[in-house]
Amino acid sequence: MRGLLLAAAMLGTVSAAHAADMPDLPILRGSFTDGLTRSSVNWQGFYVGGQGGHGSSDENFNGSTSNMMAALLADTLIEQEMQVSQWNLGLGKASQRSSGYGAFVGYNAQWDDVVIGLEASYLHGKFGGSTTASEARSNTLSDGNVHSVTASSTASIAIKDMATFRGRAGYAWGCFLPYVFGGLALGNADIVRTVSAQDFVTPAGVLLGPVSASEAQHNHLIYGYSGGLGVDVNLVGGLFMRAEWEYIRFTSQVDTSINTVRAGLGYKF
């Protein structure tokens, strides 16, 4: 019995010594799983690139000409009692699809797999829309006459250039860098608005008007905000490709929202 116990003790000692001499396996150190999840791409530094995009612009023209109509009919009886400038005129909403091209430039700072950056993005295209409407009403006013009023308006916006200045936050995963962003948006737009009105009085039979006014703003600066998400994919060295969706809203005389999907190619220095 003593011999059996002595043999077991000696076998345990030899096994422990042999295990101590064995090299650490990568899977025991955790480096195997780290190699699957951690990024080996260095995203830190300045980068530039070109891009193309396609999307839609949605405009809300409601109320965009009311101030012009109020100025046109100021101190008139039909404005005081019929409030022509407050008519909706059915301008409503419009939508248009377009394509564009441009460039981007930015800087990334990287901590392990977390990437934070600043970027300026530019797109040239022709986004916008137009609409026209008219409305007619007849009322007996305080002068004892029936006033038959017809009012009409048109409005259009054409946005040629858009630039966004964004903050980005991403997480590097292998050769992929998915990210979200948000920031300030600026645009260069042509905005044209026209209003007209006429007043036919019964039984006097007097036709007043038509009177009209128009306003055109060319190369007008509009501003708003942007947000979206995308992914950069490292190809080789500093070369990467990009896929992105961006939402921009401009809060000018014509409330405009633009959604674009973009593809680009860039290089990080």
Sorted by sequence, the CB contacts under 8 Å of residue 12 that are 6+ apart come out as none
Is 160 within a domain?
A: yes
The DSSP code sequence of 57-101 is EEEE-TTTTHHHHHHHTTT-HHHHHH-GGG--TT--EEEEEEEEE
| 36 to 12, 31, 111, 175, 233: CA distances (angstroms) | 37, 9, 18, 11, 17
CA distance 22 to 29: 13
Contact between residue 193 and residue 155 where contact means Cβ atoms under 8 Å apart = yes
Is 117 within a domain?
A: yes
Q: How many domains does the chain divide into?
A: 1
Contact between residue 46 and residue 128 where contact means Cβ atoms under 8 Å apart = no
Q: What is the pLDDT of residue 6?
A: 38
pLDDT tens for the chain, 269 residues: list them: 444 333 444 444 434 444 444 444 443 333 434 444 566 799 999 999 999 999 999 999 888 888 899 999 998 999 999 999 888 776 788 889 999 999 999 999 999 999 999 999 999 999 999 999 899 999 999 988 899 999 999 999 999 999 999 999 999 999 999 999 999 999 999 999 999 999 999 887 777 778 899 999 999 999 999 999 999 999 999 999 999 999 999 987 789 999 999 999 999 99
Is 178 within a domain?
A: yes
Q: What is the pLDDT of residue 186?
A: 97
Whole-model pTM: value is 0.78
Is 44 within a domain?
A: no
Domain range for residue 247?
A: 55-268
Q: Say if residue 178 is preceded by a cis peptide, omega within 30 of 0.
A: no
- How many whole angstroms from its chain centre is CA 95? 15
Residue among 96, 43, 46, 54 nearest 246 (CA): 54
CA distance 260 to 242: 14
Q: What is the pLDDT of residue 148?
A: 92
State which amino acid sits at residue 2: R
Number of neighbouring beta carbons within 10 Å of residue 161: 16
Is 20 within a domain?
A: no
Is 13 within a domain?
A: no
Is 220 within a domain?
A: yes
Q: What is the pLDDT of residue 9?
A: 42
Q: What is the pLDDT of residue 91?
A: 77
Number of neighbouring beta carbons within 10 Å of residue 142: 8
Q: What is the pLDDT of residue 75?
A: 87
Sorted by sequence, the CB contacts under 8 Å of residue 171 that are 6+ apart come out as 113, 114, 115, 177, 178, 179
Q: What is the pLDDT of residue 23?
A: 47
3-state helix, strand, coil in the chain (%, to 5): 15, 65, 20
> And the tokens for 106?
């930015």
Long-range contacts, 31-40 (Cβ 8 Å, 24+): 37/173, 38/112, 38/113, 39/113, 39/172, 39/173, 39/174, 39/175, 39/177, 40/174
> And the tokens for 207?
């036709």
